[in-house]
Amino acid sequence: MPARLEVGEMGRPPRILISGGGTGGHVFPAIAIADALKARLPAANILFVGARGKLEMQAVPQAGYPIKGLWISGFDRHSSRNNLLFPFKVLRSIWDALVIVSRFRPDVVVGVGGYASGPALFASILLGRPVLLQEQNSHAGITNRLLARFSRRIGVAFPDMDLVFPAHKTVLVGNPVRQALYPKHLPNREEACLRLGLDPTKQVIFVAGGSMGAASINRALLSGTGLIAAHPKVQILWQCGRNYADACLESDTGKLPHVKVLPFVEDMGAAYQAANLLVCRAGALTLAEICLLGKPALLVPSPNVAEDHQTRNALSLQQNAAAVMLADHSLSAQLLPEMYRLVSDNDCLQEIGRNARQLGFPDAAEKMAELIVDSIPSINRTALWIH
């Protein structure tokens, strides 16, 4: 493959600023994009801008990239008192972002959504820097909708987003997934089960409500001890979340011999490989991982997200027979019966998994990296190709 000479502003290697974060659904795709950029442009200087105290401030340095933090947080829809400082945080974050951008002088700025994305992108636009967006969800966030007119290209993860964004700017690339979860890096199912202390001869349902836990999913398992006890040949790997660890570990359900309770599953690759069925929320990154691996899933969209975007995410799979969806309010009566119905029907599981894989984008990070590189004006003007 021909290699592109990396020539940026004033002959230096290109500088790329990636802004956003707040949750894993924003942070891990951003890191995957940075890794793809490094593979394409090894000399590129990549800087992240995130929100102080959020996941990115640890995850990004662990991935090997520098990061600057802004004093910014989300708007609290439930407490007006918590929003008293919000205007001051926004103004201070824009000012700090102006300083960061003016000093770093990026050739292109990429917004991946999340708290820090808005101030960093706004500052970049004010300073005349090229801007790109990456929208993970099937319903665009307000920051990306507002800034779409200023963006050169917009990488999206779901079809029909050209109805939301300018069609001539919108490119379907999928959601980038971290390399560690690609099939070539994962153990086989037997090894995955052994890593997690599970019996590889038995079926496994992986219940994951997120790192902090999902109260409604946990309640359904806590109240369903009798039904779970009646299915001893189906193991449950239960990521209950750190907030609910004590209650779930000490519960009657948690003490069943075929139930393994963990506050947080560190080895997600092994958990995916071990699982015959996933029960999980419908965040965009989770769906991208499910589709990449072709895993059958019972999706429970969180009702506590902006504009109910997880329901739209889940519907995009259910409408393609690539997942089954349950409403959060129906879990107490329906979750366990539906869970055991699905896991008992191997043909159904295989069909759902096949359909999910067809919706995956295994090269999403590379496609987004290509959009970014092609939007760097200095590279476009001076690039040479070497064969």
Q: Are 117 and 211 contained in the same domain?
A: no
Burial state string for 262-283 with b = 16 or more CB within 10 A and e = fewer than 16: bbebeebbbbbbbbbbbbbbbb
Nearest-angstrom CA–CA distance, 317 and 291: 9
Nearest to 334 by CA among 373, 376, 383, 299: 299
Q: Are 11 and 137 contained in the same domain?
A: yes
Nearest-angstrom CA–CA distance, 270 and 228: 23
Nearest-angstrom CA–CA distance, 373 and 303: 37
pLDDT score at 81: 63
Q: Are 336 and 220 in contact (CB under 8 A)?
A: yes
Residue 244: CATH number of its domain: 3.40.50.2000
Tokens of 75: 């708007």
Q: Are 141 and 79 contained in the same domain?
A: yes
Nearest-angstrom CA–CA distance, 215 and 90: 31
Q: Domain total for the chain?
A: 2
Full 3-state SS string of 91-139: HHHHHHHHHHHHHHCCCEEEEEEECCHHHHHHHHHHCCCCEEEEECCCC
Q: Are 210 and 293 contained in the same domain?
A: yes
Q: The tokens 């998994």 sit on which residue? A: 353
Q: Are 222 and 151 contained in the same domain?
A: no
Q: Is the dihedral of CA 98, 99, 104, 105 positive or negative?
A: positive
What pTM, to 2 d.p., does this model score? 0.86
pLDDT score at 76: 58
Domain that holds residue 86: 3-177+362-386
Q: Are 288 and 156 contained in the same domain?
A: no
Q: Are 366 and 268 contained in the same domain?
A: no
pLDDT score at 80: 61
Q: Are 293 and 189 contained in the same domain?
A: yes
Nearest-angstrom CA–CA distance, 147 and 109: 12
Nearest-angstrom CA–CA distance, 104 and 330: 50
Q: Pick out the chain residues at pLDDT < 70.
A: 1-11, 74-82, 84, 378-387
Q: Are 116 and 211 contained in the same domain?
A: no
Full 3-state SS string of the chain: CCEECCCCHHHCCCEEEEEEECCHHHHHHHHHHHHHHHHHCCCCEEEEEEECCCCHHHHHHHCCCCEEEECCCCCCCCCCHHHCCHHHHHHHHHHHHHHHHHHHCCCEEEEEEECCHHHHHHHHHHCCCCEEEEECCCCCCHHHHHHHHHCCEEEECCCCHHHCCCCCCEEECCCCCCHHHCHHHCCCHHHHHHHCCCCCCCEEEEEECCCCCCHHHHHHHHCCHHHHHCCCCEEEEEECCHHHHHHHHCCCCCCCCCEEEECCCCCHHHHHHHCCEEEECCCHHHHHHHHHHCCCEEECCCCCCHHHHHHHHHHHHHCCCCCEECCHHHHHHHHHHHHHHHHCCHHHHHHHHHHHHHCCCCCHHHHHHHHHHHCCHHHHHHCCEEC
Amino acid 268 reads M
Classify residue 286 as exposed, middle or buried by CB count within 10 Å of its CB (0-12, 13-18, 19+). buried
Q: Are 284 and 380 contained in the same domain?
A: no
Q: Are 349 and 369 contained in the same domain?
A: no
Q: Are 234 and 109 contained in the same domain?
A: no
pLDDT score at 143: 83
How many Cα atoms sit within 13 Å of 118 on the Cβ side? 19
